[in-house]
Structure 1
Amino acid sequence: MAAYSLRLYEDTLAPNHAPIYLPAAARACYVVHGSATFEYDEGAQHQRAGGAWLGDAPLALLAGEEGATLWRWELDATDAPPGELRSAPGATSTCKLAETIDLDPRQQWLMRCDSVYFPPGGIAHTHVHQGPGIRCTLEGEIAIETLGQRHVHGPGDAWLELGHAPVLAPTTEARDTTFIRCFVLPRACRGRSSIRYVHAEDGGKQKPQRYHVFGERFISLA
């Protein structure tokens, strides 16, 4: 296994901010508020709130007329410099979570960004995933029970799931809950669910959660 750094940043850009330039990195960017244009080697893509962009090329980032708030995940070497935005006086950037994850360099990997929605009182029964990732709550509240600990995450809270460690995840009964997720999976998971239920009896239970995949991108580990 080899160690890599997975980081989640929250970037807030003023309306019509001058382009911000980011170096090459495996990344996913989710637009929380406003809109943004992502310019890269092969072209450009505009995303409004509720959309995401994935890629690994050097990036020019432009905010729309309403400004933009982004959640930006980056996978890089553990000794890579911090990725907060620089030389951008009309922008703020905060690292919400930085974690070291172990990946098998013999495996081929992809990065996936998606959303997971639960109705009030929904629950993800005890499960594992095929790779690690960082989640961040968009609305509602979710409890994560894993490795003998329980933590409750409200809007804007981020957490790491290792993938191989079983997780039980009940949500609040007061309202809907949605979180945004970026995780690293074997390429063989392309277009397939990565979830596996730990207890056989849970496999046949009703699954209230709904998923929306924004995109997947094959990545190469340096």
Structure 2
Amino acid sequence: MSDEDEGGYWLRLFKDKMPAGASVTAKLSANPRVLYCNAGRIVVSDGTVVEADQAWFGTGTVSWAVDDDGAAEVWRWELTPLDVMPEPDLGTGIVTDQLSGDIISTIAPTEKWLMRCDSVRFPPSGVALLHTHQGPGIRCLREGGIRIDSGGHSHKFAPGEAWFEDGREPVFAAAAEEGCTSFIRVMILPAELKGKSSIQYVNEEDLDKPKTQRYKGYVDECIDH
């Protein structure tokens, strides 16, 4: 899919570092969005309090703020039409970095979609056997370390680093040998997968092997597009 394709979408991940007392004053577009609080505590404009390791989902315009007595770090996933540009300045004192972003091209645009946010956690030396997913997504490492092998390439990621997976290219993941490893991800999936796993193992002999990864769900919401 090219940038000129009508009806296309971007999935992007931003990191918003907010000092004590900061608030979002920019008018963000009304699009599907997940706010994951990686550290601290935020209060969303609809009154929802989001603590560390919690997530919020919405599709309308939104703002959020930090209490006067503590800073916060928010990981913000947004699904937007190709012609919607990211807001570069959320408000005074807020530092925003785009960690990852790509055009959604591996899920049929005519399908009703699902926006899912969950975490994947591995024990020391845990692995995710060669697999695909039924839709694209962006992951961001929260703790530990991980090696991702895909498409003939191998990349290692540290906490706070993010990567995009299109879902179709098989992936093998290996967690660090010491300590637990976890990442947060947001995927765009067919709506019929609500409440169901999206993973598909490439090798039949892996289907019945023990799986070391464990999952925690935050958001599983159908979206219009």
The question of a shared fold, defined as TM-score above 0.5 by the shorter chain, is answered with yes
Q: State the Cα distance separating 1:120 from its structure 2 match.
A: 0.3
Structure-2 residue corresponding to 1:133: 137
Q: Does 1:12 align with 2:14?
A: no
1:169 to 163, 170, 173: 173
- Which protein is richer in strand relative to its size? 1
Q: TM-score, normalised by structure 2?
A: 0.92
Query: Within 2, Cα distance between the matches of 1:214 and 1:84?
Result: 27
What is the RMSD computed on CA atoms of the aligned residues?
1.4
Which amino acid letter does the alignment assign opposite residue 186 of structure 1? Answer: P
Query: Within 1, Cα distance between the matches of 2:140 and 2:134?
Result: 19
Q: State the Cα distance separating 1:57 from its structure 2 match.
A: 1.0
| Alignment deviations for residues 130-175 of structure 1 (CA, whole Å, 9 cap, x no partner) | 1000000001111111111111111111001111111011111122
Q: State the Cα distance separating 1:203 from its structure 2 match.
A: 0.7
Contact 2:151 2:169 in 1 (8 A): yes
- Identical amino acids, percent of aligned pairs: 39
Contact 1:20 1:62 in 2 (8 A): no
Which amino acid letter does the alignment assign opposite residue 37 of structure 2? Answer: V
Structure-2 residue corresponding to 1:58: 61
Which amino acid letter does the alignment assign opposite residue 170 of structure 1? Answer: A
Deviates more, 1:121-130 or 1:17-26: 17-26
Gap change, CA 1:32 and 1:75, over 3 Å in 2? same
Q: State the Cα distance separating 1:94 from its structure 2 match.
A: 0.8
Q: State the Cα distance separating 1:68 from its structure 2 match.
A: 1.1
Structure-1 residue corresponding to 2:206: 202
Which amino acid letter does the alignment assign opposite residue 163 of structure 1? Answer: G
Structure-1 residue corresponding to 2:122: 118
Contact 1:9 1:84 in 2 (8 A): no
Count of residues in correspondence between the two structures: 217
Q: State the Cα distance separating 1:3 from its structure 2 match.
A: 3.1
Which amino acid letter does the alignment assign opposite residue 200 of structure 1? Answer: E
Q: Which contiguous aligned blocks of 4+ residues in structure 1 show a shift greater than 2 angstroms?
A: 18-23, 83-86
Unaligned runs of 5+ in 2: 2-6
Which amino acid letter does the alignment assign opposite residue 84 of structure 2? Answer: A
Q: State the Cα distance separating 1:38 from its structure 2 match.
A: 1.3
Q: Does 1:89 align with 2:92?
A: yes
Q: TM-score, normalised by structure 1?
A: 0.93
Query: Within 1, Cα distance between the matches of 2:167 and 2:205?
Result: 20
Q: State the Cα distance separating 1:19 from its structure 2 match.
A: 4.4
1:24 to 30, 33, 54: 30
Unaligned runs of 5+ in 1: none
